[in-house]
Amino acid sequence: MKVQLLGLNFDELQNWLVEDLKQKPFRAKQLFTWLHFRRVSSFEEMTDLSLKFRNILKSEAEITVPEQTERVESDEGTVKYLLKLPGGPAESVMIPDPPRFTACLSTQYGCRMGCKFCMTGSAGFHGNMSAAEIVAQLYTMAGHSPARISNVVFMGMGEPMDNWDAVGSALEIISDDRGICIGQRKITVSTVGIPGGIRKLVDMEKQYGLAVSLHSAVRETREEIIPAARAMSLEQLKHDILEYTGTTGRRVTLEYCLIRGVNDSIEEAHELAEYAKDIPCKINLLVYNPVPGLDWKRPSEEVLKRFTEYLYPRSSAVTLRRSRGGKVAGACGQLGASVLLEKEKGPGCQ
């Protein structure tokens, strides 16, 4: 099997070149620059490498280049990319908010967390993405972006902490100043909270951001809509969050998707305020985005107003965010239709 070069961080790339290909160490910087700064898609474009060396690379390695099967753009400019990666179909989203341009990356084909209100959860789990496949999504969008991508969020299909080896490598690659160089503080990893997950991010001793998909501070409610939450108590999740904030000195973002009749009551708002009161955080309220086939509803404007006004000023940093990309099924919770379609085709179908 050929080496997937996009998934090797600088040290891994250098080790492979020196130990396996018997090349000089300086080759690592040359190759890393071509892959991650110039972002070429073929060895032929690496014009300052000898033909002999390029032929060696072609025989031993590959550059992951997604096939773009569809690109759909909403009225407000959000773009959803449907990509064909080696492991299957993937969906990624570009969110323009000049001067900020944010790339939302997927980390798995589907997801095993089973969140009841999420399209990706409905798609089920069909495998982990490699670091190369994660990085390739970013470079595809960078090639189409009208401006430099400034921010990256791991909030697409999948649970990042459930595919940590690949996600950790991807984080190192995209924040490396010899490559595309997205600042650590401009990169955010999202999680519903799984045992040991946040600890892995803390252990990197970096400044990557953390967003926790909380969605309820009431155990029964949270476990109803996020079955995976049964594996980790709210108390343990809070302990891990505080470990992150204490180690990094950064606030965490608590994501809270408001669903009609499920978690939008004043009682739920009270429990959220109590849970968050001693956490250095900002609370990001989202309005549920409808998903075909799922019988969940958005709260009324009156309920949204009441919930938000109760929460603030009890919590000092609260934002009610209107998700972008809903018209192209590119908003929060709407990714995964391509994976579900692939599943329904069954084996042997084209």
**pLDDT exceeds 50 at position 339:** no
Looking at residues 281-304, what average pLDDT do you find? 90
Identify the architecture of domain 3-62 in CATH: Orthogonal Bundle (1.10)
Q: Do residues 7 and 132 lie in contact, with contact meaning Cβ atoms separated by under 8 Å?
A: yes
Q: Do residues 91 and 81 lie in contact, with contact meaning Cβ atoms separated by under 8 Å?
A: yes
Please state, as a whole number, how many other Cβ atoms lie within 10 Å of the Cβ of residue 62: 16
Residue pLDDT, tens place only, 59-99:
999 999 999 888 888 877 889 999 999 999 999 999 999 99
Nearest partner of 179 among 83, 75, 36, judged by Cα: 36
Contacts for 208 with CB less than 8 Å, ≥ 6 apart: 171, 175, 184, 185, 187, 188, 189, 201
Residue pLDDT, tens place only, 177-201:
999 999 999 999 999 999 999 999 9
Give the C-alpha separation, 156 to 138, whole Å: 12
Nearest partner of 284 among 321, 315, 311, 241, judged by Cα: 321
Q: Residue 13: enclosing H or E segment and its boundaries?
A: helix 10-15
Mean pLDDT of the chain: 91
Q: Which three-class secondary structure state does DSSP give residue 306?
A: helix
Please state, as a whole number, how many other Cβ atoms lie within 10 Å of the Cβ of residue 310: 19
* 122 vs 310 pLDDT, higher one: 310
Q: Do residues 263 and 215 lie in contact, with contact meaning Cβ atoms separated by under 8 Å?
A: yes
Residue pLDDT, tens place only, 22-39:
999 999 999 999 999 999
Locate 350 and state its tokens.
Answer: 């084209």
- Going through 238-323 in order, the beta strands assigned E by DSSP cover 252-258, 281-287, 318-321
Residue pLDDT, tens place only, 218-270:
999 999 999 999 999 999 999 999 999 999 999 999 999 999 999 999 999 99
Give the C-alpha separation, 20 to 18, whole Å: 6
Give the C-alpha separation, 53 to 95, whole Å: 39
Could you state, in order of their start, the residue ranges of all structural domains in the chain?
3-62, 67-345
- Relative to beta strand 67-73, strand 79-85 is antiparallel
Cα angle, residue 319 at apex, residues 117 and 285 outer, rounded to 5°: 15
Give me the pLDDT at residue 138, please.
Answer: 97
Topology agreement, domain 3-62 and domain 67-345: no
Nearest partner of 168 among 160, 176, 158, 179, judged by Cα: 160
Q: Residue 188: enclosing H or E segment and its boundaries?
A: strand 187-191
Locate 177 and state its tokens.
Answer: 């100043």
**pLDDT exceeds 80 at position 328:** no
Nearest partner of 91 among 114, 119, 115, judged by Cα: 119
Which residue numbers are catalytic? 91, 332
Give the C-alpha separation, 167 to 162, whole Å: 9
Q: Do residues 320 and 69 lie in contact, with contact meaning Cβ atoms separated by under 8 Å?
A: no
- Relative to beta strand 151-154, strand 281-287 is unpaired
Please state, as a whole number, how many other Cβ atoms lie within 10 Å of the Cβ of residue 47: 8
Give me the pLDDT at residue 262, please.
Answer: 96
Nearest partner of 286 among 314, 318, 322, judged by Cα: 322
CATH tag for 67-345 (out of 3.20.20.70, 3.50.50.60, 3.40.1160.10, 3.40.50.720): 3.20.20.70
Q: Do residues 167 and 107 lie in contact, with contact meaning Cβ atoms separated by under 8 Å?
A: yes
Give the C-alpha separation, 284 to 319, whole Å: 5
Give me the pLDDT at residue 202, please.
Answer: 98
